[in-house]
Amino acid sequence: MDKLVYLTINTQACEQLNGWLGGFESILKQIIQTNFNWFLHVMLFYYTRQVLKKQQNNVTEKVDDPEFEDLDD
C-alpha cells in the first residue's frame, strides 16, 4: 500500500463502521459472495448518509445556538 494512502485512512471511522456492521453479522454469514458485496455496498451507502446527516444537524444546531453568535464577529 502506498504510504501516502495509508496515512490518510481514518482508523477511528473504520472502527465505528466495523462496529456498526457487526450488527448485521448474522445476515452476512448466510449470504453468497455476490449478495454479500451488494449488501455491503448498500450498507456503506446508508451509513455514509446517516453520518453526513448527523454532521449537518450538528452544524445547524451550532449555527442556531446564540452562544456561538459572538464567534462570527
pLDDT tens-place string over residues 4-50: 655 677 788 888 888 888 888 888 889 998 898 999 899 889 988 98
Residue 22 CA to residue 4 CA, distance in Å, equals 29
Q: Do 18 and 37 contact (CB within 8 A), yes or no?
A: no
At 49 the pLDDT is: 92
Q: Would you place residue 68 in the very low, low, confident or very high pLDDT band (cuts 50, 70, 90)?
A: low
Higher pLDDT, 13 or 63: 13
C-alpha cell read off for 21? 456492521
C-alpha cell read off for 43? 450498507
At 73 the pLDDT is: 45
11: how many CB neighbours lie within 10 A of its CB?
7
- pLDDT (tens digit per residue) in 51-62: 899 988 887 776
- Three-state SS at 65: coil
